[in-house]
Structure 1
Amino acid sequence: MKLAVLGSGSKGNSIFLETDNINLLIDAGFSGKKIEEQLKKIDIDICDIDGILITHEHGDHIQGAGIISRKYDIPIYITKESYEAGLLKLGKIKGENLRFIDEAFWVGDSMVYPFDVMHDAERTIGFRIEESSGSKVAIATDLGYIDNTVRESFKDVNVMVIECNYDYHKLMQCSYPWDLKARVKSRNGHLSNNDCARFIKEMYHERLQKVYLAHMSKDSNDPKIAIEAVLDELLRHGIDISVEIANQDICSELIKF
């Protein structure tokens, strides 16, 4: 299994995942051109993408999905609720390339387990993906609350991609109007640094190799504050693993797990 975060934040989100015989995008929240450029940085041709998995219908997750699907004849895997809510952003998708998802399904050699998370979209899901050789990754980039469904989906994975959106004090001090601040910190909003840190500690096991901190706010967070919050929590419990901030504009390295 190989993974690279093409970009993550309020301006766009997309993750590349390669398993034994398939290449997937998880979300396509940039322009088609930008996604193609980011893939080239890790030596991946967009024509080799086998499918696009969509977490929810917000623009920073589906902006380029319809364009890429039409141009390169790539199937989109999306819940019916997100498709209907994001239809105007997606545009027309060929019938054979529109795959509605609800329960676990196979894509090539990999089993994909969608799971519901709490977020202020029509429906938001995360993904747990297991390849036939046994490697596992769990991804949840927009969620306001960790419930038992999320915990179960992140059990025993080799790689975590988890939201680390805001620092509480910076959120309270930033220029957001109060209703937006309230939405961000609600159970249907986003995950704070401290909640993210505690969740990583809770999910840690000896086969966990890498954690990506995703969807970090540029207004109510700071990379230094976020990484310190996470590493302090982990080190306090004797946990030493690789933690990387998923950058909004810089594609991460393609790493094999």
Structure 2
Amino acid sequence: MRLAVLGSGSKGNSIFLETDNIKLLIDAGFSGKKIEEQLSKISVDICDIDGILITHEHGDHILGAGIISRKYDIPIYITKESYEAGTLKLGKIKSENLRFIEEAFWVGDSMVYPFDVMHDAERTIGFRIEESSGSKVAIATDLGYIDNTVREAFRDVNVIVIECNYDYHKLMECSYPWELKARVKSRNGHLSNNDCARFLCEIHSEKTKKIYLAHMSKDSNDPKIAFDAVKDELVRNKIDVSVEIATQDICTKIIEF
């Protein structure tokens, strides 16, 4: 498998994943032009994308999905709930390119395991993707609470992409209205730095080679605060693993695992 985070944050999210015979986007929350530009930075032609997997219907996850599907004839994999809630944002999708997610499914040589997470969309899912050769990645960029379903999905994977959205003190001090602060820190909101750090220590295994901290708030978080919170907790638990922050505008380098 090869993976790069094209960008992650409240203004857009998209991840590129490649196996021996397929190339996927997980979410397409930027404009079609922006996604095409980000892919070109890692020497990937958008025409070669085999499918777009959608986590939920919020605009920062589906903004460019419909445009890309229509322009390049690419199928979209999405839950029926998210599709119905996001129809206006997606626009018209060819019936043969609309693949509703109900249970685990194959895309090329990889099995995709969707799992439900707690977030304030009509329905939000994460993805555990297993290549036939044995490589595994788990992705959840919007979730407010870690339950047993999430724990199982992230068990024994090689690469983790997980939300690390806010620092509690910065959230309480920022200019958000109280209603938004309450939403962010609720079980259906977003994951804090400290909760993310504890979760990573809990599910880390010797198979874990890389962790990406995703969907970081620019108003209620800081990259250094988030990175230090996670690394300090990992060090306290004697865990040595590569950690990288996925930023809003800069595409990460492709890693192979």
Q: Say if 2:117 is the partner of 1:117.
A: yes
Mapped partners of 2:148, 2:102: distance in 1: 18
Aligned twin of 2:142: 142
Q: In the aligned structure 2, how far is the partner of 1:232 from the partner of 1:81?
A: 39
Q: Measure, in 2, the Cα distance between the counterparts of 1:133 and 1:119.
A: 32
Map residues 78-227 of structure 1 onto 2, 5 A cutoff: 78-227=78-227
Cα distance in 2 for partners of 1:242, 1:99 equals: 35
Distance 2:207 2:106 in 1: 24
Question: Partner amino acid for 1:77?
Answer: Y
Q: Distance in 2 between matches of 1:202 and 1:231?
A: 14
Q: Give distance in 2, aligned partners of 1:195 and 1:102.
A: 29
Cα deviations across residues 197-237 of structure 1 (Å, max 9, x unaligned)? 00000011111000000000000000000000000000001
Count of residues in Structure 1 that have an aligned counterpart in Structure 2: 257
SS at match of 2:240: coil
Mapped to 2, the partners of 1:69 and 1:159 lie a distance apart of 27
Unaligned runs of 5+ in 1: none
Q: CA separation in 1, counterparts of 2:45 and 2:104?
A: 27
Give, in whole Å, the separation in 2 of the partners of 1:189 and 1:70.
32
Q: Distance in 1 between matches of 2:201 and 2:19?
A: 26
Q: Distance in 2 between matches of 1:225 and 1:143?
A: 20
Corresponding residue of 1:58: 58
SS of the residue corresponding to residue 86 of structure 1 reads helix
Q: What is the SS of the residue equivalent to 1:143?
A: coil
The Cα offsets for residues 2-55 of structure 1, whole Å up to 9 and x where unpaired, read as 000000000000000001110000000000000000000000000000000000
RMSD between aligned alpha carbons?
A: 0.3
Instruction: Quote the Cα distance in structure 1 between the aligned partners of 2:237 and 2:156.
Output: 18
TM-score (norm 2): 1.00
Letter paired with 1:20: D
| Residue identity in the other structure for 2:20 | D
What's the CA shift for 1:66?
0.1
Counterpart of 1:245 in structure 2 is 245
Between the aligned residues of both structures, percent identity stands at 86
Question: 2:61, 2:207 → 1: CA distance?
Answer: 29
Between the aligned partners of 2:102 and 2:242, the Cα distance in structure 1 is 32
Match of 1:23 in 2: 23
Quote the offset at 1:185 in angstroms.
0.0
* TM-score normalised by length of structure 1: 1.00
Measured in 2, the distance between the counterparts of 1:214 and 1:237 equals: 22
Q: Provide the rounded CA distance (Å) in 2 between the counterparts of 1:64 and 1:140.
A: 19
